[in-house]
């Protein structure tokens, strides 16, 4: 395609999706995420980028998901999905950020520059799948994405309202038909019933959802519970899952991503032993948010290797690929299991050629693999995996909870002038800037039994996140408040001072 035909890139931008803000926006933990009103030009440009990416990948399908996932309703976001159903390759995040921030006048030239830089053959076909969540701003943004695809003569296929993991799955299937059929029905989850979606006036994620339940450690507002009833909470785009139950004193018990990871890892380990697939190495990947008690249990009781990486599914996914079977979960309920080709081939062979007991275990494992959405964390698929394990073991939710006891923890948010003033190292467990903050955290942590705390800038909200754990809930709350105070004082806090 000669560069002159890129004039339409500018014309569509100017007439339909002009850039009306100078606020700098960055491809963060999970794509671009901010107030929906600041996003239309960004999504249009991601339509352009998806076409370029598809051509660089020889016309394989790329996905665009419009969602702000766990964020409240006024926000929205956009993330790109690579051909294997994975998050966009990290080296392209800088390109996405550049394209999102140039002026309309410079857009055409920057698009030409990007095409050259990545060596895209613009004569090839390009295919882009587009999905969105239920926010009222999503249809308008999805239309902007379609226009971006059209401007560079790609083919857009709209899926309407879908969960994030369904779109990841469909992209993968479109590019690899051995993985399944690229439709919602293709992922044969079977029937399930929705118990409740309260929120306030139906607003997405408000006082409900996986993030609310995990962070506030409270059940969603307005849901009725029987004691010891197993309840699952999902987030706004269906890629996170946490469980909880209330005991007979109405006290809530949370089973978060760590509990799910340990349950799945222990079951897969049990089946691997039963089918004697001893050469397959299973490992678990967590982030700094993982409860210290879970890491101890994984290492000392399950005897499974565990690694810690930075927040963001993309980092966990990557690390999990280094194991034959990699279980990865963030404590917030985002995660899945990855099985290497070697693992799949070995297990299939045992299912056919093994001794009867080995064959049985291998077949169970094959069913388990089949039910897993390996492209990304998928709340529905994860829910069925959990239910499968509990059913196979005849365990109730209390027994699952009792595998290990979480250390009490607390998460808080602090608003500062510029959250990027905070830098971290060692998988976000230590803070390297601003000066003096880490030593203050160390001093505070040292005063608590089993104390641990870290701070990091969020990649999806304009806040600094603070995490603390200690021997009692009161101490975890106190430590979190004191560390928040230190962030406020040393990193330019704005608004109300945190209450210590
Ligand atoms: C996204 C990412 C997750 C991350 C979460 C919070 O989740 O996919 O990996 O844990 O944001 O990130 P941060 O602490 O940087 O704001 P979701 O469910 O919102 O897409």
- Domains and their CATH numbers in the chain: 3-175 (3.40.120.10), 257-401 (3.40.120.10), 409-490 (3.30.310.50)
| Catalytic residue of the set 37, 54, 69, 216 | 69
Task: Reply yes or no on whether the pLDDT at 23 is more than 60.
Answer: yes
**pLDDT, averaged across the chain:** 94
State residue 213's pLDDT score.
95
For 246-290, write each residue's pLDDT tens digit: 999 999 999 999 999 999 999 999 999 999 998 999 999 999 999
Dist. CA 306 → ligand 1 center (Å) = 21
Whole-model pTM over 0.85 = yes
State residue 39's pLDDT score.
98
Higher pLDDT among residues 191 and 273, named by residue = 273
Task: Reply yes or no on whether the pLDDT at 207 is more than 90.
Answer: no
> Do residues 51 and 12 make contact, with C-beta atoms less than 8 angstroms apart?
no
Cβ–ligand 1 distance for 30 under 6 Å, the answer yes
For 301-318, write each residue's pLDDT tens digit: 999 999 999 999 999 999
Task: Reply yes or no on whether the pLDDT at 442 is more than 80.
Answer: yes
Task: Reply yes or no on whether the pLDDT at 60 is more than 50.
Answer: yes
Q: Which one of 27, 30, 71, 329 would you pick to mutate in the ligand 1 pocket, going by the greatest count of ligand atoms within 8 A of its CB?
A: 30
> Phi and psi (nearest 5°) for 376?
-170, 165
What is the mean predicted confidence (pLDDT) over 406-429? Answer: 96
- Lookup result for tokens 């009725």: 224
Distance (Å, whole) CA 276 – CA 350: 9
Dist. CA 427 → ligand 1 center (Å) = 15
For 357-405, write each residue's pLDDT tens digit: 999 999 999 999 999 999 999 999 999 999 999 999 999 999 999 999 9
- Lookup result for tokens 């794509």: 31
User: Is residue 337 classed as helix, strand or coil in its secondary structure?
Assistant: strand
Please indicate whether residue 69 is annotated as part of the active site: yes
Dist. CA 247 → ligand 1 center (Å) = 30
Q: What are 205's strand-pairing partners?
A: none
In the structure, what pLDDT confidence band is assigned to residue 49 with cuts at 50, 70 and 90?
very high
% of the chain beyond a pLDDT of 70 = 95
Cβ–ligand 1 distance for 70 under 6 Å, the answer yes
State residue 197's pLDDT score.
54
State residue 198's pLDDT score.
46
Higher pLDDT among residues 499 and 488, named by residue = 488
Long-range interactions of 401-404: CB distance < 8 A, separation 24+:
401/245, 401/253, 401/255, 401/259, 403/259, 403/262, 403/263, 403/266, 403/297, 403/301, 404/262, 404/293, 404/294, 404/296, 404/297, 404/301
């Amino acid at each position: 395609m000669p560069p002159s035909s890129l004039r339409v890139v500018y014309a569509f931008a100017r007439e339909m999706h002009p850039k009306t803000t100078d606020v700098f926006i960055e491809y963060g933990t999970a794509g671009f995420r901010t107030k929906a009103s600041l996003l239309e030009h960004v999504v249009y440009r991601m339509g352009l980028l998806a076409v370029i990416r598809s051509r660089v990948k020889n016309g394989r399908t790329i996905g665009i998901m419009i969602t702000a996932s766990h964020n409240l309703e006024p926000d929205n976001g956009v993330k790109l999905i690579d051909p294997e159903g994975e998050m966009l390759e990290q080296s392209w995040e800088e390109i996405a950020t550049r394209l999102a921030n140039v002026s309309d006048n410079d857009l055409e030239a920057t698009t030409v520059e990007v095409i050259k830089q990545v060596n895209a053959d613009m004569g090839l076909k390009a295919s882009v799948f587009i999905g969105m969540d239920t926010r009222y701003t999503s249809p308008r943004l999805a239309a902007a994405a379609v226009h971006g695809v059209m401007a560079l003569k790609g083919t857009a296929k709209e899926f309407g309202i879908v969960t994030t993991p369904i779109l990841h799955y469909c992209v993968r299937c479109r590019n690899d038909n051995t993985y399944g059929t690229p439709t919602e029905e293709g992922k044969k989850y079977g029937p399930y019933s929705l118990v409740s979606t309260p929120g306030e006036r139906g607003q997405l994620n408000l006082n409900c959802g996986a993030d609310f339940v995990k962070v506030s450690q409270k059940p969603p507002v307005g849901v009725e519970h029987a004691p010891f009833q197993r309840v699952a909470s999902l987030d706004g785009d269906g890629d996170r899952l946490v469980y909880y139950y209330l005991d007979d004193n109405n006290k809530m018990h949370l089973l978060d991503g760590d509990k799910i990871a340990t349950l799945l890892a222990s079951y897969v380990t049990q089946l691997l032993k039963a089918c004697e697939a001893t050469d397959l190495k299973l490992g678990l990947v967590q982030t700094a948010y993982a409860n210290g008690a879970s890491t101890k249990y994984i290492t000392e009781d399950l005897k499974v290797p565990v690694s810690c990486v930075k927040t963001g599914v993309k980092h966990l996914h990557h690390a999990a690929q280094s194991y034959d079977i990699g279980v990865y979960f963030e404590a917030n309920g985002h995660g899945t299991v990855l099985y290497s080709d070697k693992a799949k081939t070995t297990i299939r062979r045992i299912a056919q050629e093994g001794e009867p007991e080995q064959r049985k275990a291998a077949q169970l494992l094959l069913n388990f693999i089949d039910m897993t959405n390996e492209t990304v964390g998928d709340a529905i698929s994860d829910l069925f995996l959990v239910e499968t394990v509990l059913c196979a073991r005849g365990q109730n939710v209390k027994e699952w909870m009792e595998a290990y006891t979480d250390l009490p923890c607390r998460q808080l948010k602090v608003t500062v002038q510029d959250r990027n003033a905070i830098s971290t190292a060692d998988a976000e467990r230590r803070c390297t800037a601003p000066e003096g903050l880490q030593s203050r955290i160390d001093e505070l942590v040292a005063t608590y039994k089993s104390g641990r705390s870290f701070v990091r800038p969020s990649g999806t909200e304009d806040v600094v996140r603070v995490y603390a754990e200690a021997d009692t809930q009161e101490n975890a709350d106190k430590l979190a408040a004191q560390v928040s105070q230190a962030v406020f004082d040393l990193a330019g806090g704005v608004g109300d001072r945190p209450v210590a």
